Amino acid sequence: MPKVTIDGIQYEFNPGETIIEVASRNGVEIPHYCWHPRLSVSGNCRMCLVEVEKMPKLVIACATQAMDGMVVHTKSEKAVKGREHVMEFLLINHPLDCPICDEAGECALQDYAYRYGTGYSRFIEEKNHKPKRVKLGPYVMFDAERCISCSRCIRFSKEIAKADQLTFVQRGDRVTIETFPGKEFDNPYSLNVVDICPVGALTNIDFRFKARVWEMSATKSICPGCARGCNIDIWVRNNEILRLTPRFNEKVNDYWMCDHGRINCFKFVNADDRIDGPFVKKESQLVLVNWDEAVSRAVSELKRFKGNEFAVIASPFATLEDNYALLKFSKQILKTNNIFFIPHIKPGDQDDILIREDKTPNSTGLRLLGIDVSKNDLSLETLDEKINSKSIKCLIVVEDDPIAVKPELKNAIQNLDLLIVFATNKNKTTQYADILFPAATYAEKNGVFVNFQGFVQRIRPAVATIDVDRSLDGLAQSRWDKFGTEFDKWARGRKVNARSDWKIISQIANALGGKFDYDTSEDVFIEITQNVKELANLDYETIGELGYQIKSSKLIEEKILV
C-alpha cells in the first residue's frame, strides 16, 4: 500500500484519497471550512493549506490527492503563516457579531480564529455591509454579512437533499447566497445547512435566540419521528428541550436528519397538554389521584374481566421494554392473545434519503416481539364491531390514539366497560378513559427502538420527571443543572409526574400476582434478549452509541426488515 508522511508519521492510504481524508481518518487535524466528508470538494475557503515537500507553493489538503512518498507538513512555519493569512482574509468582512450570533460557542470561525489566527487585524477600513435578516425558507434565516462563502449549503442542497435551491450571486466581496427568484428554500432537509454552516450565517428560525449553546446539556438519543430512527442529540436547558440536532451514524442517518423530526419531535414533551399524574374517572370526571390509588383501582377493575374480554393496543411509539412488559402482562396476567398495534403509515411520504412512510420509531421492534397489526381476527378495523357485540369489554391503550386514527371508534369506545389509557399527552382517546396513566415520553426514559433496517438503538433520558434527579440518576447536566438550587428559577423547570409504561405495568402485574421483577429498563431488556433469539446476548453496553444491527435473512423474508 502507498504511504504518505504527515507531520513525520507515515500513514497508509487508498489511491485516490486526498491529504485531508488521510489526515482526518488518522486523527490529524487540518483546519477546514468548505470541505465536508460527504460533499464534493470545492476548495474555495483555502483554510486547509499545508506544505508539501518539493511543491513550490502551499497546497490545499482537500483537493490534493495523496501520493506515494509524499511528505506533508501541517505545522511547519510556512503552513502556519499561510493559515494565519487566510484567517485574516476571512475575518476582513466578517462582522463582530459573536454576542448576538446563535452559532457562538460552536462556531468553526471562532475556534480557528482562536487557534490559528494572529489575534489582531490590520484592516482598518469600513467592513462590507449586506442584508442581515433574510428568510430563505420556512425554517432557515440567512445573515449575508457573516457568510464566508464556503458553499457547503449550496452543495448540500444539490448533492444530498437533491433540491438545487441555493446559488451564489454577484462576485468578489459582494458575493452572496440567494434562492432563485420567487422560490423558497423549503426542501425537507433544509435545516441541515444550519449544522454544516461553519459560521452563523444560516440559523434555525425555530431555535433562534432561545439559548446559548453552552447553557444546554446534550443527550444522545433517537428521533421518534419515523421508522428511520435518526441518531440525535437532545439539547436541554432547565428541564426543557430547546432543539434536536443530528448525531453522526454512518449506517443510519449519516450526518443528517429531516426538518419534520427536528421541528416537530420535541415540542410535545414540554407542551401544556402533558398528562401530569394519574387520573381516575369519578362521577364521569377525570380526577387527579396518587399512584397507589390509581394502581389499586386498575387492579380491582381488571379482576372483573377474564381472558378474551380484554383487548390490548400496544404502541410503536413506546420502547421495546414497554411493549414487552405489556405483552407479558397480557399473556400471563390477563391471559389473552388479543394484543395488536395500530400502524401509522403515511403512503407516499418516503424518499431515498431518510424519510420513511412508517411514522413510528419502533414498529419493527413490535414485530420482533410477535405483536402485529392484527391478531385473532382483531385489529383496528374490527375493534368497534367486537366492542359493540360485547365480546370485548375492556380495552387497554398504550401510547396511541385510536380515535384520532379511526374517528368512528368514538361511539364504540363509550360502550366499553373499562378503558385504561397510558398516554403522554391529552388526545382524543384520553377523555374517555376510566383510568388514565401518565406515560413518560421518549425523552424521559431509557429503552431501545428497532428501526426498519434492524438497528437496535438506545434512547436515554434527557428530561427529568418528578421521580428523577438529574445528578443522582446520571442525566446529562449543564453548568446550570450542576449548581442550581431549588431557589433558583433557572433550575426549577417543570417536572412532569410520569413513569415509563413498563414500570406502571409491572406495578399492576405484581399486584395481580405476577412476577415482574424489574428495577431498571435494562432488566426488562435482558429478559427480552432471553426470549427473542435475534436479540440474544445483547445488553445496553453492546448496543452502545451507534446501535447494533440484527442480521437475519428470515426476518427479511417475512418483510419485518427491509
Give the residue, chosen from 355, 484, 538, 560, that forms a contact with other proteins under the rule CB under 8 A. Answer: 484
Minimum distance, C-beta of residue 381 to other proteins, in the bound complex (Å): 49
Nearer to other proteins, 101 or 230 (CB): 101
Burial 328-367 (b: 16+ CB within 10 A, else e): bbbeebbebbbbbbbbbeeeeebeebbbbbbbbbbbbbbb
Q: Is 57 in the site for other proteins (CB under 8 A)?
A: no
Minimum distance, C-beta of residue 204 to other proteins, in the bound complex (Å): 13
Q: Is 209 in the site for other proteins (CB under 8 A)?
A: yes
Minimum distance, C-beta of residue 201 to other proteins, in the bound complex (Å): 14
Burial 103-132 (b: 16+ CB within 10 A, else e): bbeebbbbebbeeebeeeeeeeeeeeebee
Nearer to other proteins, 80 or 491 (CB): 491
Q: Is 100 in the site for other proteins (CB under 8 A)?
A: yes
Stretch that binds other proteins, among 64-72, 210-218, 262-270, 499-507 (CB under 8 A): 210-218
DSSP secondary structure code for residue 225 in this structure? S
Q: Confirm if 177 and 166 have CB atoms less than 8 A apart.
A: yes
- CA-wise closest residue to 242 among 206, 277, 272, 273: 206
Give the residue, chosen from 370, 415, 490, 558, that forms a contact with other proteins under the rule CB under 8 A. Answer: 490
Task: Please give the backbone phi and psi of residue 218, each rounded to the nearest 5 degrees, phi first.
Answer: -115, 135
Give the residue, chosen from 133, 171, 303, 554, that forms a contact with other proteins under the rule CB under 8 A. Answer: 133
Give the whole-angstrom CA distance, residue 290 versus residue 279. Answer: 8
For residue 19 the three cell numbers come to: 491529504
Minimum distance, C-beta of residue 216 to other proteins, in the bound complex (Å): 12
- Each residue 434-473 as x (binds other proteins by CB under 8 A) or -, in order, gives ----------------------------------------
Q: Is 174 in the site for other proteins (CB under 8 A)?
A: no
For residue 417 the three cell numbers come to: 366497560
Give the whole-angstrom CA distance, residue 337 versus residue 426. Answer: 28
Nearer to other proteins, 9 or 487 (CB): 487
Q: Is 135 in the site for other proteins (CB under 8 A)?
A: no
User: DSSP E strands: which ranges in 164-224?
Assistant: 166-169, 176-179, 202-204, 217-222
Reduced to 3 states, what is the DSSP secondary structure of residue 32? coil
- CA-wise closest residue to 422 among 534, 293, 323, 529: 323
Q: Is 114 in the site for other proteins (CB under 8 A)?
A: no
Nearer to other proteins, 103 or 401 (CB): 103
Q: Is 98 in the site for other proteins (CB under 8 A)?
A: yes
For residue 60 the three cell numbers come to: 490545499
For residue 197 the three cell numbers come to: 454552516
Q: Is 210 in the site for other proteins (CB under 8 A)?
A: yes
Minimum distance, C-beta of residue 209 to other proteins, in the bound complex (Å): 4
Stretch that binds other proteins, among 98-106, 267-275, 283-291, 394-402 (CB under 8 A): 98-106
For residue 389 the three cell numbers come to: 357485540
Minimum distance, C-beta of residue 212 to other proteins, in the bound complex (Å): 4
Q: Is 132 in the site for other proteins (CB under 8 A)?
A: yes
Q: Is 301 in the site for other proteins (CB under 8 A)?
A: no
Minimum distance, C-beta of residue 306 to other proteins, in the bound complex (Å): 56
CA distances from residue 86 to 92, 109, 168 in whole angstroms, order as listed: 10, 12, 21
Minimum distance, C-beta of residue 262 to other proteins, in the bound complex (Å): 20
Minimum distance, C-beta of residue 160 to other proteins, in the bound complex (Å): 30
Residues whose CB is less than 8 angstroms from the CB of residue 283 and which lie 6 or more positions away in sequence, other chains included: none
Give the residue, chosen from 57, 122, 208, 303, that forms a contact with other proteins under the rule CB under 8 A. Answer: 208
Minimum distance, C-beta of residue 43 to other proteins, in the bound complex (Å): 33
Give the residue, chosen from 122, 487, 517, 519, that forms a contact with other proteins under the rule CB under 8 A. Answer: 487
Q: Confirm if 236 and 216 have CB atoms less than 8 A apart.
A: yes
Q: Confirm if 426 and 399 have CB atoms less than 8 A apart.
A: no
Stretch that binds other proteins, among 14-22, 204-212, 276-284, 460-468 (CB under 8 A): 204-212
Stretch that binds other proteins, among 18-26, 203-211, 374-382, 403-411 (CB under 8 A): 203-211
Burial degree of 424 (CB within 10 A; 0-12, 13-18, 19+): buried
Give the residue, chosen from 123, 180, 248, 483, that forms a contact with other proteins under the rule CB under 8 A. Answer: 483
Longest dimension (CA), the chain: 89
CB atoms within 10 A of CB 542: 10
Q: Is 486 in the site for other proteins (CB under 8 A)?
A: no
Q: Is 212 in the site for other proteins (CB under 8 A)?
A: yes
Contact footprint for other proteins (CB under 8 A): 98-100, 104, 132-133, 208-210, 212, 214-215, 479-480, 483-484, 487-490
